[in-house]
Amino acid sequence: MLRARGALIAVPPQNTSRSCPECGHVSAENRKRQAKFVRMECGFSANADFVAACNIREAGLALLACSYPSGDVSPSSGTHRRYSCVCMRPVGILSLQGREEVNALRHRLGDGRPSDNAGPARSLKFAGFPQPSTRRDRFVVALGRAIGYRGSYGKTGSMRRSVVEKRNKETRQPPPPLPRRDAGAPIPQEEEVRSLVAKGKTKAAVELAKEIHRRCGRPESEALLVDAYGARIWSLQEAGLKKEAKELFELVRARHSGSAARLVHASVLVSASDGNLDGLLRPLGDPVLPVETRRAIETFVKDEVCDLNAVAQCATLAADHPLSTAASALVKAFAAVTTGPVEESALALPEVSHRSALASWKMLVRAVAYFYRQDDQACERCLELVDPASAPARLIPAMRAMLGAGTRKRLPPAAESLVEQVCGNTASLRGALQTLDSAFQTMEQGEIVVAIQRATVACNLAYPELLERLRQHISVRALELQLPLRKVRAAMGGPSIKNAYFWRLLAWSEENSREPMEPLICAHWEQFRKHAVAEGWFQEKSQEAAALYLHMAELLLDMPAEMLNNLRKSFVARFSGFEAYYEDQPPAIRAVETKGKTRDFYFLSPDELFERACSIDPHREAFDLWLNWAREESDWRVADYVAERWHEALPNHCQPLLYLMESAENRGALNKATAFLEEVQKLDAVNPEVRRAALRLLVFRAARHLRQRKPHLVEQDLAALEALPQAQEGDRPVFLLALRWAGEVIRGNTEQAASLLSQIGRLLRNSDAAVLACRQAGKLCGLEQADLDRYLRQEISLDSADSLALAVARVCALVDDMGATLTIPKSWHGRLAEELAKGPGKLESRQMDLLGKAALRDNQKELAYLISARGLGMGGNTQARFLLLRARALPEWEVDRRNDCIAAAVELGRRQRDFSVIKEAVELRRARRNTMWSFFWWLDSESWHDSSMTTEEINAVLQREQRFCAFPEQQASRFRTPFGENTASLCEEELETNDEFPALEDAAHPAAEMSPPREKRQKKDLRDFPVTGDLF
């Protein structure tokens, strides 16, 4: 101070931190906290030390103005009084009544006379205060030094005006009062107040609105002031000053009771400031509640309420109130989506309407459900529908961080904690798993062991609940690659649990291996079944168990019968169980294996598997599979037993009775066949299959009587046939005439036989077709070849304009309709090949298919191949059938082409929903595997893995087969060999000692040492291993 030649003025400290510098009010209530000053009446708030400094400065200026009558006081004079440098009565800050007195004092000091605005009530209240001196200039200079003025002092008036203008600017002195205007006139500076509120400057908005209302005094200005107060209450609430906001609200409501309706939003905010929703939601039960108040409460609930359970349990809301029911439904939905998978119907939430205050919570519930379903697109769509101003919108950044969408921004600590708890440390785990996959591809033992150890550590840190599942997957992969299990177990930190999940993984791995061993796979599925039943996945006799039995049976059906029998015998003789797998397992796991006292190898018999499945869950598909397998057995009684079981389980089905009728018919038991026919006609007489069976049975009865040379019974049979309505459809009357022709031949009536042959030719419009039809009827009736040659000509008597292929195809369709088979005379094959080489002509796709099958029955593969080429060239929806015909016509060494044709036919059948094509393809494949086990079957089994094809692959197969029109020659065919280039051959002694299956001997024991890995061919893209709910 001495260096700056300043003045030190002592001011009394009383009430300096309790007085409001805005309105002058003094109260201890203004100090709510040590560092905070808040005046509730005027809304002024600031730091307490800053307020005290302002008050001290104001008092010092007043003392300075009143205590220096002449000149400056030298700071070095040594006179230091308590309050002032002059002898005067001590004064406090209460002597000044606001800024108006200070301004009045300054005006009076500047003019030498009282200010116009300073009346008697605003004069200074110092007792014995001396009158100021007229030596105004020197005093103004001293005053300027005291307040820090550094301007020019040449003109005392200009300096005085600068000081006054500076003080007016600092104190935001409003302009002089405006004259009052008429009602309805616009409020001056209203837009400025609204702008300040929009910018968040609520304090300045209140000050300006107060001044406007003081000058105008109209209801409109009061409404503007109340709006400004409402904004100020919101700002205090957001700043955490809930008590101050409540007190200000009470004060404003008391002073401006006429405009209390404009404080609805503030009222809602204050009511919920203590966290108790009862007072906030109580008005919603009032049926006459104003719309504005209801809307304000619902808006607050939408934007601020985060506890749905509190809303659902609110005591002031009725139980059937829409808001209460919506909150209860959302609480249940949240619990459901965060604990497990839910159905789509559970996400509908009809209790929450799209206009409800909780509608955004509904979208959030759906987003969480889709997040756990790993449907990121649906989750993002739900997040976009959440109202950005609502309370659930605060979780959107965390949800998008979990989805990994976009750049990860810094989240609040609570959101970061939520993301970490839900997602864990996924980055390190993902990297460790990718490294492990790469190590498995390299097949380097050391690299794999290190990668296993790192992956298990990362999983234990990120998802400890998934560590056991990871160990099981690693164990199965190690068994597949024949890794040393002791090292793998040490790297994993312990053995994997051999529960149902493990055995299912192992069975899946074996099924998709390069050399699947079906008996061992079925043994793994049997282990899975036992553990799944013990762990409660499904019951012993449930539909899931039946589906598992069917799956094991279908695995065994993929093997030739002879090979399956050999493997079954070797497996039963050598298999010792899975004891090695159950070492170091918990007692509960070991108890499942030791539960059965004797081993039951039922899982190696398709018959027992089918019977178990059909007894648990009898349905058409299961019995159909069982019957198709039984029909391939040499003993007809096996298939009859299956059909009888089918009829007992499902008595309303016609198919078992139709098979029993056909079986009895083939054995010559026509009486039994007739009884079965009558029974099936009672079930469904209008069924096309039943009507066709009735026609076929009468035809075979007539043919049998002709073979037995009983003409009187033949006439009865033919009369019954002619009485059937279905016998008069299409070309069927021709076959009846052919049967009569055979009867006349047996009687030796040559003229009548010739007349019938001419009549048949007229019906078919082709004499060669009539010859072929009579030849097939004669064979069915037991005529000798000599009789056929005597009554029927051998040569072809067709003109060049007639089509032999069309005639033969028409007879093929007729004979197939009658349930018989057609044999094309060998002398006709050359003419048929020449005609078909020119094109299909007028042949239809079904006729060509039947013609090709007839050629295959005569072992004419070249002719069948040519017919398939013409059928593929026709295009359309019949290409799948001609692909199957091409597969049958190909020679044995064309393994890859045949499998491609079957796979493409199956895929086309799936897309066209032609189940007959699929069934025919499956039967073709099964028939090939039930033939003699040969080298070509082994090649076929190596290349047959996946029947699924893409559209591009199907088109490639079709284009290739259409391009190869000529029958392949053996020297031009090349097939893929699975042997390596350096394959060593075995001598005869080694072949004799290694004719068994060495894999069966060690099937139950894990590999002790790592053998050189063999390269495994990827059959197909494996899908993710299923969860608990999926079996296959």
DSSP string, 54-85: HHHHHHHHHHHHHH-SSS---TTS----SS-S
- More confident position, 472 or 419: 472
Q: CA 521 → CA 385, 583, 696, 936, 1017, distances in Å? A: 50, 21, 44, 24, 19
Listed residues 273, 296, 330: the one ending a domain: 273
6 CB-near residues (< 8 Å, 6+ apart): 75, 145, 146
Token reading at 295: 């809307």
Q: Token pair 């389980």 is at which residue?
A: 649
Q: Indicate whether 65 and 162 sit together in one domain.
A: yes
Domain with 237 in it: 187-273
Q: Indicate whether 114 and 70 sit together in one domain.
A: yes
In angstroms, rounded to a whole number, what is the distance separating the alpha carbons of residues 281 and 294?
A: 9
Q: Residue 443: pLDDT band by 50, 70, 90 thresholds?
A: confident
Predicted confidence at residue 173, as pLDDT, reads 44
Helix axis angle, 951-963 to 861-874, nearest 10°? 130
Q: Is the pLDDT of residue 528 over 70?
A: yes
Whether 712 and 677 have beta carbons less than 8 Å apart is answered as: no
Predicted confidence at residue 32, as pLDDT, reads 67
Predicted confidence at residue 215, as pLDDT, reads 82
Q: How many CA atoms lie within 13 A of 845 on its CB side?
A: 14
In angstroms, rounded to a whole number, what is the distance separating the alpha carbons of residues 144 and 155?
A: 13
Residues 60-78, buried b or exposed e (16+ Cβ, 10 A)?
bbbbbbbbbeeeebebeee
Q: Indicate whether 280 and 354 sit together in one domain.
A: yes
Q: Residue 662: pLDDT band by 50, 70, 90 thresholds?
A: confident
Which value, to the nearest 10 degrees, does the dihedral of the CA atoms of residues 35, 40, 45, 51 take? -70
Q: What is residue 46's three-state secondary structure? A: strand
Residues 443-470, buried b or exposed e (16+ Cβ, 10 A)?
bebeebbebbbbbbbbbeebbeeebbbb
Arithmetic mean of pLDDT, 416-442: 82
99 CB-near residues (< 8 Å, 6+ apart): 21, 58, 171, 173
- More confident position, 351 or 155: 351
Q: Indicate whether 41 and 159 sit together in one domain.
A: yes
Q: Indicate whether 83 and 146 sit together in one domain.
A: yes
Q: What is the pLDDT of residues 380-415, one digit of tens each?
A: 999 999 999 888 998 888 888 888 754 556 788 888
Q: What is the pLDDT of residues 503-521, one digit of tens each?
A: 999 999 988 887 778 888 9
Token reading at 809: 């195809």
Q: Is 176 within the bounds of a domain?
A: no
Question: What one-character-per-residue DSSP string does 865-890 give?
Answer: HHHHHHHHHH-GGGHHHHHHHHHHHS
Q: Indicate whether 163 and 48 sit together in one domain.
A: yes
Q: 536, 531, 510, 671: which is closest to 591 by C-alpha? A: 531
DSSP 8-state symbol, 400:
H
Predicted confidence at residue 439, as pLDDT, reads 92
Q: 342, 317, 346, 315: which is closest to 329 by C-alpha? A: 346
Q: Token pair 């006439």 is at which residue?
A: 715
In angstroms, rounded to a whole number, what is the distance separating the alpha carbons of residues 116 and 123?
A: 12
Q: Is 438 within the bounds of a domain?
A: yes
Arithmetic mean of pLDDT, 554-575: 83
Listed residues 496, 518, 540: the one ending a domain: 496
Q: Residue 686: pLDDT band by 50, 70, 90 thresholds?
A: confident
Q: Is 780 within the bounds of a domain?
A: no
Q: Is the pLDDT of residue 66 over 80?
A: no
Q: Is 965 within the bounds of a domain?
A: no
Q: Is 313 within the bounds of a domain?
A: yes
Q: Residue 107: pLDDT band by 50, 70, 90 thresholds?
A: very low
Q: Is 485 within the bounds of a domain?
A: yes
Q: CA 264 → CA 203, 227, 289, 304, 379, distances in Å? A: 20, 10, 12, 16, 37
Arithmetic mean of pLDDT, 243-272: 71
User: For residue 15, how many other CB atoms are within 10 A of its CB?
Assistant: 16
Q: What is the pLDDT of residues 932-977, one digit of tens each?
A: 444 334 334 444 444 567 888 888 888 888 888 888 876 444 444 4
Question: Rounded to an integer, what is the distance from CA 909 to the centroid of its chain?
Answer: 29
Predicted confidence at residue 538, as pLDDT, reads 92
Predicted confidence at residue 184, as pLDDT, reads 54
Q: Indicate whether 322 and 354 sit together in one domain.
A: yes
Q: Indicate whether 50 and 138 sit together in one domain.
A: yes
> What average pLDDT does the chain have?
75
Q: What is the 3-state secondary structure (H, E, C) of 801-835?
A: CCCHHHHHHHHHHHHHHCCCCCCCCHHHHHHHHHH
User: For residue 967, how many other CB atoms are within 10 A of its CB?
Assistant: 15
Q: What is residue 913's three-state secondary structure? A: coil
Token reading at 229: 């107060």
Q: Is 268 within the bounds of a domain?
A: yes
Classify burial at 846, counting beta carbons within 10 Å of its beta carbon; exposed 0-12, middle 13-18, buried 19 or more.
middle
Q: Longest Cα pair distance anywhere in the chain, in angstroms?
A: 168
Query: Structurally, how many domains does the chain consist of?
Result: 4
Q: Residue 145: pLDDT band by 50, 70, 90 thresholds?
A: very low
The stretches of 338-444 forming alpha helices (DSSP H) are 359-372, 376-384, 396-403, 413-423, 426-442
Q: What is the pLDDT of residues 762-809, one digit of tens each?
A: 888 888 888 888 888 888 888 888 878 888 876 766 554 567 778 888
Q: Is 121 within the bounds of a domain?
A: yes
Listed residues 231, 252, 273: the one ending a domain: 273
Q: What is the pLDDT of residues 589-636, one digit of tens each?
A: 988 887 755 678 898 899 999 999 999 999 999 999 899 889 888 788
**Backbone Cα Rg of the chain:** 51
Q: Indicate whether 197 and 162 sit together in one domain.
A: no
In the chain, the percentage of residues whose pLDDT exceeds 90 is 13
Q: Indicate whether 317 and 378 sit together in one domain.
A: yes
Token reading at 424: 């864990």
Whether 476 and 502 have beta carbons less than 8 Å apart is answered as: yes
Q: Indicate whether 145 and 225 sit together in one domain.
A: no
In the chain, the percentage of residues whose pLDDT exceeds 70 is 74
In angstroms, rounded to a whole number, what is the distance separating the alpha carbons of residues 271 and 266?
A: 8
Q: Indicate whether 268 and 283 sit together in one domain.
A: no
In angstroms, rounded to a whole number, what is the distance separating the alpha carbons of residues 906 and 914?
A: 9
Token reading at 968: 């392949």
Q: What is the pLDDT of residues 988-1001, one digit of tens each?
A: 343 333 333 333 33
pTM of the model as a whole: 0.55
Q: What is the 3-state secondary structure (H, E, C) of 226-267?
A: HHHHHHHHHHHHHCCCHHHHHHHHHHHHHHCHHHHHHHHHHH
Predicted confidence at residue 157, as pLDDT, reads 43
User: For residue 813, how many other CB atoms are within 10 A of its CB?
Assistant: 19
